[in-house]
Amino acid sequence: MIKDYWVNATENFSKNTEKQFNSHEAIKWADFILNEIKELEEPIEILDIGTGAGFFPLILSSETRHVIGIDLTETMIEEASNKIKKYKVNSDVLVMDAQDTSFKDNSFDIIICRNLVWTLPDPIKAYKEWNRILKKDGLLLIFDGSWYIHHYDEEHKKIFNKKRKEMENLGVEVYLYGDKETRPDDYNLMLETYLKDKYRPEWDVKNLTELGFDIEKVLEEYMDVMFEKDYRAKQGMIAPLFFIKAKKIKAL
Ligand SMILES: C[S@@+](CC[C@H](N)C(=O)[O-])C[C@H]1O[C@@H](n2cnc3c(N)ncnc32)[C@H](O)[C@@H]1O
């Protein structure tokens, strides 16, 4: 079911990736990430997990930064592969499961992922696997959102509804994550996800710490750092969007 969801989402997703790559957002994203990884001496190997249509390979690759993008969904990898050829970037993409990769131990200087972890059936298994394939002192950069917590927690529901009103007053169309009536596919997907009712990023911080990572930075709303204030609201992005930077300090 989760895979079918991403196959169906591929066409739209790929169009949005192309649009984002050709907008000012690409520069903001690249600046933010390159600033977080500037401590590493290049050349470096980067793994983008759940690469989708290849946004991170497109914006992060250079002569000294080789990016491998992996994704479970073949159609996403086809789209990513086409874009990598079109824009001639120093990347490779492969079909592979985030939780069970075929890479050797200590392969990467950086693992990065955006909007992936929330959809994994067993994120602890994934974090163990990522510890294995990351080099010692390598960096893990996670961008994700608490898309569904307002369905499970009254306080979050209040915050969600308040933000919703503010955004609708601005004339913005709000994406109602997990809404049974208006987003039935997303509602069904939500019910299947392991992380739907977990408090994040706290859940990730606790587990990553137990799994050999040192937490270097947590931002509860990275969009407000990357873009001007209210940019997120104007886009109708209502869910809290967080960033975690962690360093692998020991192998498991
Ligand atoms: C919301 S998209 C994010 C894509 C990309 N990171 C971006 O931000 O543009 C989530 C992606 O995760 C992929 N995915 C879902 N489960 C996966 C798994 N177990 N292993 C690898 N990729 C997975 C989906 O196919 C989809 O392309």
Q: Indicate if ligand 1 lies below 6 Å from the C-beta of 241.
A: no
Two structure tokens written together for 192: 């299947």
pLDDT of the residue at 94 = 98
What's the pLDDT score for residue 191? Answer: 96
CA distance 48 to 240: 22
Residue 200 alpha carbon to ligand 1 centre in Å:
18
Atom of ligand 1 nearest to the CA of 76: 27
Decide whether any atom of ligand 1 lies within 6 Å of the 82 Cβ.
Answer: no
pLDDT of residue 231: 85
Is-above-0.75 flag for pTM? yes
C-alpha–C-alpha distance, residues 244 and 218, integer Å: 5
| Residue 42, CA distances (Å) to 10, 46, 62, 66, 236 in order | 33, 11, 10, 10, 37
CA distances from 20 to 23, 38, 55, 58 (A): 5, 24, 8, 11
219 bridge partner residues = 243
**211 by DSSP, 3-state: which?**
coil
The C-alpha atoms of residue 78 and residue 68 are separated, in whole angstroms, by: 14
Beta bridge partners of 7: none
The answer, yes or no, to whether residue 1 has pLDDT greater than 80, is no
At 229 the pLDDT is 79
Distance 165 CA to ligand 1 centre (A): 30
In this structure, the residue with its CA closest to atom 27 of ligand 1 is: 52
For the stretch 35-80, pLDDT in tens is: 999 999 999 999 999 999 999 999 999 999 999 999 999 999 999 9
- Give residue-wise pLDDT tens across range 86-144: 999 999 999 999 999 999 999 999 999 999 999 999 999 999 999 999 999 999 999 99
- Determine the pLDDT at residue 20: 96
Task: Give pLDDT, residue 16.
Answer: 96
Q: At what angle do helices 2-21 and 74-87 cross, to 10 degrees?
A: 20
Q: Does the C-beta of 116 come closer than 6 Å to ligand 1?
A: yes
Give the number of other Cβ atoms within 10 Å of residue 115's Cβ: 15
pLDDT attached to residue 236? 84
Domains of the chain (ranges; CATH) run: 2-147+198-248 (3.40.50.150)
Q: Report how far residue 161's alpha carbon sits from residue 158's, in angstroms, rounded to the nearest whole number.
A: 5
What is the tens place of the pLDDT at every residue in 179-238?
Answer: 999 999 999 999 999 999 999 999 999 999 999 999 999 999 999 999 987 888 888 889
Q: Would you state the pLDDT for residue 230?
A: 80
